[in-house]
Amino acid sequence: MTAGPGPGDAMFDNEDMAADLAPEVDIPTAGVVDVSAIDPALADPDVVAEVVAPQREIDTGEGEVLLRTEELSVQFGGLVALDAVSFEIRRGEILGLIGPNGAGKTTCFNALTGVYTPSSGSVTFDGKLLAKTKRNEITRLGIARTFQNIRLFGEMTALENVVVGTDARHRTSVPGAIFRTARHRREERDAVDRGMALLEFVGIAPRAVEKARNLSYGDQRRLEIARALATEPKLLCLDEPAAGFNPSEKAALMDLIRKIRDDGFTVLLIEHDMRLVMGVTDRIVVLEFGRKIADDLPAAIRANPAVIAAYLGVPDDASA
């Protein structure tokens, strides 16, 4: 849906966010994370990139199909918001998902991330069929996302927001956390180090101990990306990350998205800004009225008459 977010529109929807994360995780409040022992090696960008790079095993090989939708449909009452859409995301690519307002992009994201249950069709991710998989389970399986409207824990610091994301990958048991076993303490320390590395990676490390709600709009967007990366996603879904950005912020965001891909992540990007989409994606899928109308390289998409017609509102036959 069109949200048109801009500076000051940040939404701090803790309950909803918590639903996306491991429910048993005890979410720390501002000031709980000790930042006194931050590794000075994180000043080195190569070290940062290495710490941030996903460590988890992925069954899908580089360049192979990581996610596949087959005839995926989502219906709201009589409205078919997504109509038998099939596409693939290959491991290591940046795939753009574009289309005019109301085309079904966010609905598609929501179907991939378990927010909506598809009315028909299937999603296969890293070799597994995601049938009625719950949101937090999908996060654990390796799909992370950001939202059109920023969702952060506003009262927590930037670092804590990221550490919460890292917690989703923790392996210690609840008793382990209560009795602060050596393993738990080590995981906690690793989470803080990794959290700092992520903040450095997205360019907001100096804001680490500020409450999320006090960060600038652009920094909140970067923090959302850092938190999504903290779960070590196999697939990172960005929903209009440049909304409300000025041209120089957009250029910096393009650099960040490329850096994320170069660090070993796969990215699915919904974005309205054509310059950004054309400049950063490897391939683009275009939706119109819930249907896929094109799936091609950026240069071919730019010249595709059906895509041009969809954006300009010209009937297909008139543009031929």
Ligand X SMILES: Nc1ncnc2c1ncn2[C@@H]1O[C@H](COP(=O)(O)OP(=O)(O)OP(=O)(O)O)[C@@H](O)[C@H]1O
Number of residues that bind ligand X (CB under 6 A): 13
* Least distance from ligand X to the Cβ atom of residue 123, Å: 16
In whole angstroms, how close is the CB of 73 to ligand X at the nearest point?
12
Nearer to ligand X, 74 or 162 (CB): 74
- The residues facing 296 across adjacent strands are 284
* Shorter beta-carbon distance to ligand X: residue 2 or 173: 2
Per rule CB under 6 A, is residue 246 in the interface with ligand X?
Answer: no
Residue among 260 and 270 whose Cβ is closer to ligand X: 270
> Shortest Cβ distance from residue 243 to ligand X (Å)?
9
2 binds ligand X (CB under 6 A): yes
Q: Which is nearer to ligand X, 60 or 148 (CB)?
A: 148
Which pair of tokens denotes residue 176? 């382990």
CB of 235 to ligand X, least distance (A): 18
Task: Return the number of the residue (9 or 39) whose C-beta is nearest ligand X.
Answer: 9
Looking only at residues 15 through 74 of this chain, which bind ligand X when binding is defined by CB under 6 A?
Answer: none
Sketch the per residue contact string, 69 through 108, with ligand X: x for CB under 6 A, - otherwise.
-------x--x-x-----------------x-xxxxxxx-
**Nearest-approach distance from CB 287 to ligand X, in angstroms:** 6
Residue 47 Cβ vs ligand X, minimum distance, rounded to whole Å: 38
* Residue among 143 and 164 whose Cβ is closer to ligand X: 143
For tokens 């048991």, the residue is 173
Q: Does 111 contact ligand X by CB under 6 A? A: no
Tell me how far apart the alpha carbons of residues 73 and 22 are, in angstroms, rounded to a whole number. Answer: 28
Nearest to 259 by CA among 189, 177, 195, 203: 203
CB of 310 to ligand X, least distance (A): 11
Nearest CB to ligand X, comparing residues 10 and 192: 10
Binding site for ligand X (CB under 6 A): 1-2, 76, 79, 81, 99, 101-107
